[in-house]
Chains A and B, each alone.
Chain A
């Protein structure tokens, strides 16, 4: 009997302590945000580490031109922001925040490159709802998720992790945050990492 009571208490505590999945999204997207529900926080294994040279890539952007990581070598620090997918809850309210803090990136002589595994037309339609973005948005669609795979942030369902990589002017990875996919990374933490680059 005592065992049963203990079991009941344990089960009750476990049920009540499950963190409620929380999110918000802007009315800018109307009813077009697809609810993914709560997902496995991280579903990939990193293939790069801090201190290592960041793998170069060539990806098409929604503005039309192709962008390589190496084009910033010796000129700018780079923040790669992988978000899992267009038209999903947390992703839709991440880049619009970065869009109003260009000055904070400028202060650290950094550029931001937004990357998803979606195709260009989808990215174009989705990011149009965010207002005019100051940073390039890149499509890692074909070969599907190749860059995400190279960095070790491609999930088993073909989306990418919600991951941030800070890369210095020498092309060296200085900070990695493969974040819980269900949560938005703190802006303050990223800004602090950028400040370290000075």
Chain B
């Protein structure tokens, strides 16, 4: 009898312990960014864009040389992300043409459930100029509350190494000039 009680307790405990893997909440403005690492891009142009130095194989958002990083959680298989891709490219161009924002605001994409091959297909198909990283096992996707795609997260990088989420929203970000101004304001530019 004692054995069964013990077994029941262990089983219940196991499920409680196992749950948080997929129970992370979605990012919200005002919160700190969830912790994750990304592989250092193979392409020199991508490494230069992100301002990554050193010889490590992985990096964190805090290592990106920028005041603010806009993260797009996307998928090669997501029709909304496909439709939105040219608009995100236009935002990238607008940032690069804005002397105050260039070099201070950077964009990265994370392909939820996508392999290296799949994110490369997406980049080539839509001529995506910023780095897009694979998340084949949904590890990062789970950490950000299994959001639908596309989901945009703007993160202000603080001098003390922490990052504050300043924008977190599902779907398109609307008019580019207004959105860029909001990003610049959040970045302190």
- A:45-102 near B, CB below 8 Å: 93-94, 96-97, 99-101
Q: B83 and A23: CB pair below 8 A?
A: no
Q: How many A-B residue pairs have CB under 8 A?
A: 112
Instruction: Pick the interface stretch among B29-37, B46-54, B134-142, B181-189.
Output: B134-142
Interface size on A, residues (CB 8 A): 32
Q: What does the 1/0 interface line of A1-29 toward B look like (CB < 8 Å)?
A: 00010011001101110101111111110
Write the chain A residue with the least CB distance to B12.
Answer: A15
A131 contacts partner chain B, Cβ-Cβ < 8 Å: yes
Q: A26 and B78: CB pair below 8 A?
A: yes
Q: What does the 1/0 interface line of B1-37 toward A look like (CB < 8 Å)?
A: 0010011001101110110011000000000000000
B103 contacts partner chain A, Cβ-Cβ < 8 Å: no
B86 contacts partner chain A, Cβ-Cβ < 8 Å: no
Q: B78 and A28: CB pair below 8 A?
A: yes
Q: A96 and B14: CB pair below 8 A?
A: no
Write the chain A residue with the least CB distance to B151.
Answer: A27
Interface size on B, residues (CB 8 A): 40
Q: B78 and A96: CB pair below 8 A?
A: yes
Instruction: Pick the interface stretch among A107-115, A117-125, A168-176, A181-189.
Output: A181-189
Q: A11 and B121: CB pair below 8 A?
A: no
Q: A11 and B148: CB pair below 8 A?
A: no
Q: B18 and A187: CB pair below 8 A?
A: no
A84 to nearest B CB, angstroms?
16
B110 to nearest A CB, angstroms?
11
Interchain CA distance A11-B125 in the complex, whole Å: 47
Q: Which of B6, B11, B113 contacts A15 (CB 8 A)?
A: B11
Interchain CA distance A88-B170 in the complex, whole Å: 20
Interface of B is mostly: helix
Write the chain B residue with the least CB distance to A130.
Answer: B79
Write the chain A residue with the least CB distance to B117.
Answer: A188
A129 contacts partner chain B, Cβ-Cβ < 8 Å: yes
B55 to nearest A CB, angstroms?
28
B171 contacts partner chain A, Cβ-Cβ < 8 Å: yes
Residues of A contacting B22 with CB < 8 Å? 20-22
Interchain CA distance A11-B3 in the complex, whole Å: 13
Interchain CA distance A23-B77 in the complex, whole Å: 12
Q: Which of B17, B78, B122, B147 contacts A16 (CB 8 A)?
A: B17
Q: B149 and A24: CB pair below 8 A?
A: yes
Q: Which of A27, A99, A101 contacts B149 (CB 8 A)?
A: A27
Q: A15 and B117: CB pair below 8 A?
A: no
Interchain CA distance A130-B82 in the complex, whole Å: 10
Q: A24 and B113: CB pair below 8 A?
A: yes
Q: Which of B6, B112, B115, B141 contacts A188 (CB 8 A)?
A: B115
Among A12, A22, A25, A101, find the residue whose CB has the most chain B CB atoms closer than 10 A: A22
Residues of B contacting A8 with CB < 8 Å? 6-7, 10
Residues of A contacting B78 with CB < 8 Å? 24-28, 93, 96
Footprint of A on B, CB under 8 Å? 3, 6-7, 10-11, 13-15, 17-18, 21-22, 75-83, 112-113, 115, 117-118, 121-122, 125, 137-138, 141-142, 146-150, 170-171
Between A and B, 15 residue pairs with Cβ closer than 8 Å are A11-B7, A11-B10, A12-B13, A12-B17, A22-B142, A25-B78, A27-B150, A28-B78, A93-B75, A97-B118, A99-B79, A99-B82, A100-B121, A101-B121, A187-B117
Known: A26-B149, A28-B79. 13 other contacts (CB 8 A): A11-B11, A15-B17, A16-B14, A16-B17, A20-B18, A22-B142, A23-B138, A24-B147, A25-B148, A26-B75, A97-B77, A187-B115, A187-B121
